[in-house]
Amino acid sequence: MDMMYVEDCCEILDSMRVPIVASEREEGEYPYYGANGIQDYVADYIFDDELVLLAEDGGNFGSRERPIAYRVSGKCWVNNHAHVLKPKDELDVDYLCYSLMFYKVDGMVNGATRQKLTQAAMRKMQIPSRSMDEQKQIVDELNHIMKIKKQRQKELVLLDNLIKARFVEMFDSIKEEKLLGEISEFVTVGIANSATHAYAESGIPMLRNQNIRENYLDDSDLIYIKPEFAAKYESKELKENDIIVMRTGYPGVACLVPKKYEGCQTFTTLIVRLRSDNNPSYVCNYINSDFGKRFVDLEKVGVAQQNVGARSLAHMPIKIAPRELQDKFATFVKQIDKSKAAVQKALDETQMLFDSLMQEYFG
């Protein structure tokens, strides 16, 4: 396969970029783009064209999920954190974008704390040279798959919104409240001491804040600790249906512990173990509801990295609905979760197909 350099197949419009500090931006209708997408909307524009923006610094370099390049169309402003590329004749703008989205930049970026793809390095990036007909065929195929992927993602959002709407419908009028700490055996924090020395290839899974998603556990990036280290924290071992809550990052986001992670540990997450008179699914959804989020927003502390502590979380007021109503809601959630699992499976298969074709076409 013949290859072509970016500098040979694109006009590089970096010299036209102008950064505007937030305090000096005049609000308007035109998108203001940075390394990873829209940063703001401003009153004027620099470009009015079909372009590809490629992260210069602060990009998702090395990510297999988040692209480093994206398409823009029409009037916009671009700051100096994204390279601006306009394809020359015989190069389709979408083909250019796909070829750069997940480009392997190993050895091309520099900088320890904030990696940077310099213009010199960007100019020497190579993309496969194909006829316009071939480019169009590839773009049509990938666009079709992306359309399916977005539809699946939309379906997941709609199912989540259905749960939220049902929650409000069932519990908005409930008046009785108790503090979370009053209906719990304990509200505490997981292992808070350094654990890096105890990391292992296998052993006891240790869940972290980044594994917690709203009402579900993301176990795609687990770490493991040595059993002898975990044994020192026996009192913090998780049980099925414990609620674990993000302490930092996005404080207050909560999920239930699945049965297969009973006996595991967590690192600096908050742990809530309820008494038996309330349904864990109901309380977890309550923490993630607008009621819970408003409380957490008031309790968060810190500037650079906001967090919420166990003592604060224990003071969250929880609407105490009749147990049969809580159970009815939990059954509804379980039914929706089955639908979500089917959609997620289809989404995963679509993603695998997309990844396979991207590898085939662009390496």
Q: What is the CATH number of the domain that holds 280?
A: 3.90.220.20
Q: Which two three-digit tokens encode residue 66?
A: 């988040």
Please report the beta strands in 133-203, taking only residues with DSSP state E, as ranges in sequence order. Answer: 177-179, 184-189, 199-200
Q: Give the pLDDT mean for 80-90.
A: 96
- Token readout for 168 is 């409000």
The pair phi, psi for residue 112, each rounded to 5°, is -85, -50
C-alpha 291, offset from chain centre = 23
pLDDT tens digits, one per residue of 67-84: 999 999 999 999 999 999
- Do the domain assignments include residue 290? yes
Query: Do 185 and 307 lie in a common domain?
Result: yes
- Determine, yes or no, domain membership for 94: yes
CA distances for 116 relative to 13, 58, 79, 253, 279, angstroms: 18, 7, 15, 32, 49
Tell me if 169 is assigned to some domain.
Answer: no
Residue-wise pLDDT for 147-174, tens only, equals 999 999 999 999 999 999 999 999 999 9
pLDDT digits (tens, 9 = 90+) for 303-337: 667 889 999 999 999 999 999 999 999 999 999 99
Residues 55 and 33 in one domain: yes
In a domain, 340, yes or no: yes
Supply the range of the domain harboring residue 52: 3-129
Burial class (CB in 10 A: 0-12, 13-18, 19+), 69: buried
Burial class, 52, CB count within 10 angstroms (exposed 0-12 / middle 13-18 / buried 19+): buried
Assess whether 214 and 298 both reside in one domain: yes
User: Which tens digit of pLDDT belongs to each residue from 229-261?
Assistant: 999 999 999 999 999 999 998 999 999 999 999
Instruction: Clarify whether residues 289 and 338 are in a common domain.
Output: no
As for how many domains the chain has, the answer is 3
- 180, with CB counted inside 10 A (0-12, 13-18, 19+), is buried
The structure's pTM equals: 0.81
Model confidence pLDDT, tens digit, residues 96-136? 999 999 999 988 888 766 789 999 999 999 999 999 999 99
Q: What is the predicted pLDDT for the residue at 288?
A: 95
Nearest 5 degrees, angle CA 45-CA 46-CA 51? 110
The confidence score (pLDDT) of residue 112 equals 64
